[in-house]
A and B are shown apart, each in its own frame.
Chain A
Amino acid sequence: MNPANYLYLSALLFTIGAAGVLIRRNAIIVFMCVELMLNACNLAFVTFSRLHGNLDGQIIAFFTMVVAAAEVVVGLAIIVTFFRSRHSASVDDADLMKL
């Protein structure tokens, strides 16, 4: 199978994730869409690793997972405190500061 197809899939996933960030209101979902984008990156890394015949891309994928996990820890903590003080996780409610 042509590895390029994996790249197309990766780009598609990345686009879906980005669109989700723009469209969805719930902070958790927005965040999940960001994670989707990271996973799209992982797919691209692994594919390119295969293409170039070296291991760098695969190692980077592991790093990305670890970073994503750390991001989840911090992100969920922030979103949860945000939710608890407002009883809403909608990012559109967060507009105290503007202009």
Chain B
Amino acid sequence: MSATAAAVHSLWTTRALADTAATPAIPTPHIEYAQLSPVLIVFGAAVLGVLIEAFAPRAARYAGQLAVSVVGLAAAFAALVALAADGYAQGRSHVAAMGAVAVDGPALFLQGTIVLIALVATFTFAERRLDPVAHGNRVDSFAAQGSAVPGGEQEQKAVRAGFTTTEVFPLLLFAVAGMMIFPAADDLLTLFVSLEVFSLPLYLLCALARRRRLMSQEASVKYFLLGAFSSAILLFGIALLYGYAGTVSYGGIADVVDGTAKLTPALANTTGNDALLLIGGAMVVMGLLFKVAAVPFHMWTPDVYQGAPTPVTGFMAAAVKVAAFGALLRLLYVVLPGMRWDWRPVMWGVAIVTMVVGAIIAVTQTDVKRLLAYSSIAHAGFLLTGVIAVSPSGVSSVLFYLVAYSFVTLGGFAVVTLVRDAGGEATHLSKWAGLGRRSPLLAAVFAVFLLSFAGIPLTAGFSGKFAVFKAAAQGGAVPLVVVGVISSAIAAFFYIRVIVMMFFQEPQPQGPTVAIPSPLTSTAIALGVAVTLVLGVAPQYFLDLAGKAGVFVR
């Protein structure tokens, strides 16, 4: 022990100068900028957005921010496609940036998905036709001034002056960049930092609703406190895993778990102590389960989804789930496959509880945003069944499901923004009664999304559910599939109930109006419908794509 202590001391005392031969040389970090370019482009665009906020005149900010976001995200997507075309998704996949970030199939696939989600979300963020014109200014879903007291004099002044919170665009971009690193993180430190990088902007975005500010702020506080709490637990888990393996790199930990690592005296001391590994692993997994909204770490979801501005909810529901499931897959498949006999039964339990509780509580919901929140919890359960498969088809089915689910979710929340009454969005389900009579097209589109959520054949939801259940059944989790199918049946009940409500009930006399969206929101909704139908009718190409992208680098 003293020998090691002396070696460590030698690193930071003058003894190092005297004993250079014993000092491990710290090499200059080697960063593969080209391979990290998608993330760097998004970060660059975000920083540019901050500069626009600082220097551009207020009138020019909206257009500037929108342009920077769209161009940045499009460029990032192009870079991702170029990387994939270069073979980084398969043959050339490796770990870049000194072991911090993986460039491989799942990472590129998920990053591409996230970037596309963000692009669509940018459109819904930028929508300015839905709210009535305030003092001659078109306004979006966000508060005139986030810091102002709701209803206070300062806020009224800001509204009169036509302020808008254009900071949401850089915030979105920072979150996107964090989410892109999250599923690609190849050591636990990067995992933690990227988690915070995408979480912090989301906490802020949640608080910025133009209407129902109190609810919005409450959502933000709840999300923030619980998020910080969960990341503290995750960090402690990282500390324990580091204590167990002496490294935070995924490959390094996996080697220690498998027993193939070079044994140092310190390692010999800690590897005997499996408690460190098991407790640490469980805590890290808990941090990720919080983000995917698995029961019992789901309780923030309904409140935050309901309170946050609806475009933000749509973005969160889609992108956070993609990023977090990506990270969960990598963690379980790369770091902890050696102890899958320990975590699989536990995850079985989590998946079952998540599916059942999500579906059952949704049955009695009366608010459409809360309903979608519980539906997203149930979907997290369905996705977990694919994760548990521990097979290549498990990975590809989860990847496919994420694509199918996220675009439908974005579209669904975009529809929610359109149904409005005097108080803003009319989210209470009773107001949606008879919507099919007033606005058949919108109701039909929403019905398509609901059918997809319910997993009715010829929709993307069915293809995805079929893929994960098939993978799970092949992985030996037949009881899990049975529970999944039963929960799907329960879930179908409340989705179909909404459809019945929209089409077969008399409209209320003071029912909501349906706002005519600009092409921005229309694009988001149309894309949702297109993905739903394409992945539902002809899923094979995308299943193959996900299958090709389903190999992790280690």
Contacts and interface: CB of A to CB of B under 8 A. Distances in A.
Interface in A56-83: 56-57, 59-60, 63-64, 67, 70-71, 74-75, 77-79, 81-82
Contact of B306 (A21, A34, A71, A97): A97
B243 interface: yes
Interface string A12-44: 001001100100000100110010011011001
Interface stretch (B13-21, B224-232, B350-358): B224-232
A63 B242 CA distance: 15
Interface of A: 7, 10, 14, 17-18, 21, 27, 30-31, 34, 37-38, 40-41, 44-45, 47-48, 50-57, 59-60, 63-64, 67, 70-71, 74-75, 77-79, 81-82, 84-86, 91, 94-98
A83 B4 CA distance: 51
B303 A17 contact: no
B330 interface: no
B248 A60 contact: yes
Nearest to B220: A78
Contacts of B213: 85
Contacts of A31: 225, 228
B374 to A, nearest CB: 11
Contacts of A18: 229, 232-233
Interface string B3-43: 01101100100000000000000000000000000000000
A14 B236 contact: yes
Contact of A74 (B147, B204, B219, B243): B204
Contact of B11 (A52, A55, A78, A91): A55
A78 B247 CA distance: 35
Which among A18, A47, A77 has the greatest number of chain B C-beta atoms within 10 A? A77
Nearest to B230: A34
Contacts of A56: 189, 242, 246-248
A62 to B, nearest CB: 10
B392 interface: no
Given A41-B235, A85-B149, 17 more contacts: A27-B221, A37-B233, A44-B240, A52-B266, A53-B4, A53-B8, A56-B189, A56-B247, A56-B248, A60-B238, A63-B189, A75-B203, A75-B224, A78-B207, A81-B146, A97-B219, A97-B306
Given A48-B242, A55-B11, A78-B221, A85 B214 contact: yes
A64 B221 contact: no
Contacts of B204: 74, 77-78
26 contacts: A14-B232, A18-B232, A34-B232, A37-B229, A41-B235, A41-B236, A44-B243, A45-B242, A47-B243, A51-B246, A52-B267, A52-B270, A53-B264, A54-B8, A56-B242, A56-B246, A56-B247, A59-B189, A60-B238, A70-B196, A71-B196, A78-B217, A85-B217, A94-B221, A97-B215, A97-B218
B260 interface: no
A17 B228 CA distance: 12
A67 B198 CA distance: 12
Given A40-B236, A51-B269, A81 B217 contact: yes
A95 B302 CA distance: 12
Contacts of B269: 51
Contact of A91 (B217, B219, B221): B221
A20 to B, nearest CB: 10
Chain B binding surface SS class: helix
A97 B228 contact: no
A71 B200 contact: yes
B312 to A, nearest CB: 14
Chain A binding surface SS class: helix
A63 B239 CA distance: 13
Contact of B228 (A53, A75, A86): A75
B307 interface: yes
B315 to A, nearest CB: 18
A37 B236 contact: yes
Contacts of A67: 192-193, 196
A81 B522 CA distance: 33
B215 A45 contact: no
A67 B227 CA distance: 13
A47 to B, nearest CB: 8
A53 B214 CA distance: 50
Nearest to B219: A97
Nearest to A46: B239
Interface in B275-320: 302-303, 306-307
A31 B292 CA distance: 22
B266 A53 contact: yes
B221 A41 contact: no
B222 interface: yes
A44 B239 contact: yes
A57 B266 contact: no
A25 to B, nearest CB: 12
Contacts of A91: 221, 225
Interface string B511-552: 000000000000000000000000000000000000000000
Contact of A84 (B149, B189, B232, B303): B149
Contacts of A14: 232, 236
Contacts of A7: 243
A45 B197 CA distance: 21
Contacts of A70: 196, 200
